[in-house]
Structure 1
Amino acid sequence: MTKVILIVGLILFLLYYISKKLSASFTATNSPAIIVKNGYQKIDTSKVVIADTSQKVMKNVGIGAILLIIMLALIIKIKILLFLFPISIYMIGYLFLFKNHLKKTSSQVIWYNKQTEDVIIESMTKDPYHFNLLRDVKAVQQIESIQNTKGLLFGYFRIKTQKEIIEIPYLVFQNNPSNHLFFDSLQKNFKIDIQKKIFPII
C-alpha cells in the first residue's frame, strides 16, 4: 500500500509540474489582438485557450492514472474495482485527443472576410483553398465528446464544401470573442448536425 501511495504522489507531482510549465509558457503574454490582413480576419486559437485546456487535460489524465493504479493494486482483493478500468482509460485518453486537436489547429490557418463571407484555408500540406461561406457550403456538422468532463469538452466543426471538407477544432471555437463573427455566421446560416462520439478524433 505504501508503494501505491508513493507512485500516486509521484504522478501527482509530475502532472503538477507539467501543468505549471504549460501554463507559464502559454500565459506569459496576453492573447494577441485580432489580426486582419487585406480585409480578412485570422480565425485562430489563443495561448490562453491552449493553456486552460492543457491544465484541464492534465487534471483528467492525473485522475485517470490514479484510478488505474488503485485498481491494479487492489484488483486481487476487490474485483468489483474492474469498473474503474474503462473510466481511467477514458480520462487518460484525453492527452492523446488534446495532441490530435492541437496538431490540427497548428496545421492550418483560417482567414475570414466578414463583408463578403469569403474564407481562405492555408494548409501546411496543400495549396490555399478559397470558398464562400454562403454559396459553397453544402453541410455543417458539429462533432463533440459524449460529455463534458470537469469543464473539458473536445469537439470540432466539419464544413463540407463543393470540393473540400474543412475541420475546425473547438480550440479555435473557444477563442471568444475574437472569432465570434465567423462562428455566429456559421450557426446563423446553417442547420448544424450535432453528433456525439467517445473520442472525437480529427
Structure 2
Amino acid sequence: MTKIILIAGLILFILYYISKKLSASFTASNSPAIIVKNGYQKIDTSKVIIADTSQKVMKNVGIGGVLLIIMLALIIKVKLLLFLLPISIYMMGYLFLFKNHLKKTTSQVIWYNKQTADVMIESLTEKTYRFNLLSDVQAVQQIESIQNTKGLLFGYFRIKTQEEIIEIPYLVYQNNPSNQDFFNSLKSNYKIDLQKKIFPII
C-alpha cells in the first residue's frame, strides 16, 4: 500500500509540475487586445483560457491515473473496484481531447466583419474560405461533453454552409467578451441543434 501511495503521489507531482509549466508558458505575457484588420475582427482564443484549460485537464488526468493505479493494485482482492476503470479512462482521455481541440484552434484563423456579417476562414492546409453568417449558413450544431467535470467542458460549434463545414472549439467560444458579437449573431439568427457526446472529438 505504501508503494501505491508513493507512485500515486509521484504521478500527481509530475502532472502538477507539467501543468505549472504549461500555465507559465501561456501566461508569460498578457493576452493581446482585440485584433482588427480591414474591418475584420480576429475570432480566436486567449493564452489565459488555454492555460486554465490545460491545468484543469492535467488535474483530471492525474485523478484518472491515480484511480487506475489503485484499481490495478487492489483488483485481485477487491474486484468491485472494476467500476473505477471506465471513470479512470474517461478522465485521462481529457488529455487527448484537449490536444485535439487545441490543434483545431491553432490550425485555422477566423475573421469576422460585424458590419457585413462576412466571415473569412484562413487555414494552414486549405485555401481561404469566405461566407456570410446571415445568408450562407444552412445549419448550426453545438456538440459538447455529456457533463462538466471539475469545471472542464469540451465542445465545439459546427457551422454548415453549402460548400463547407466549419468547426469552432469552445476554446474560442469561451473567449468572451472579445468574440461575443460573433456568437451572439450566430445564436440569435439560427436554431442551434445541441448534441451531447462522451468525447466530442473534432
Q: TM-score range by the shorter chain?
A: over 0.9
What is the CA–CA distance in structure 1 between the aligned matches of 2:118 and 2:143, rounded to whole Å?
23
Aligned equivalent of 2:105 = 105
TM, length-normalised to structure 1: 0.99
Aligned equivalent of 1:164 = 164
What is the CA–CA distance in structure 2 between the aligned matches of 1:130 and 1:19, rounded to whole Å?
37
Secondary structure of 1:116's counterpart equals: coil
What is the CA–CA distance in structure 1 between the aligned matches of 2:37 and 2:176, rounded to whole Å?
19
Aligned equivalent of 2:134 = 134
Render the CA deviation track for 1:77-99: whole Å, top value 9, x for unaligned. Answer: 11000000000000000000000
Aligned equivalent of 1:90 = 90
What is the CA–CA distance in structure 1 between the aligned matches of 2:137 and 2:12, rounded to whole Å?
46
Aligned equivalent of 1:44 = 44
- Cα deviation for residue 60 of structure 1 reads 0.3
Aligned equivalent of 1:75 = 75
Render the CA deviation track for 1:97-130: whole Å, top value 9, x for unaligned. Answer: 0000000000000000000000000001111000
Any stretches of 5+ residues in structure 2 without a counterpart?
none
Aligned equivalent of 1:114 = 114
Higher deviation after alignment, 41-50 or 3-12: 3-12
What is the CA–CA distance in structure 2 between the aligned matches of 1:135 and 1:162, rounded to whole Å?
11
Aligned equivalent of 1:201 = 201
Q: Which runs of 4+ in 1 moved over 3 A?
A: none
Higher deviation after alignment, 129-138 or 1-10: 1-10
2:185 aligned with 1:191: no
Q: CA RMSD in A?
A: 0.5
Identity level (%)? 85
- Cα deviation for residue 31 of structure 1 reads 1.3
Aligned equivalent of 2:14 = 14
Any stretches of 5+ residues in structure 1 without a counterpart?
none
What is the CA–CA distance in structure 2 between the aligned matches of 1:102 and 1:152, rounded to whole Å?
14
Aligned equivalent of 2:30 = 30
2:133 aligned with 1:149: no
Q: What residue identity is the alignment partner of 1:172?
A: V
Count of residue pairs the alignment pairs up? 202
- Cα deviation for residue 157 of structure 1 reads 0.1
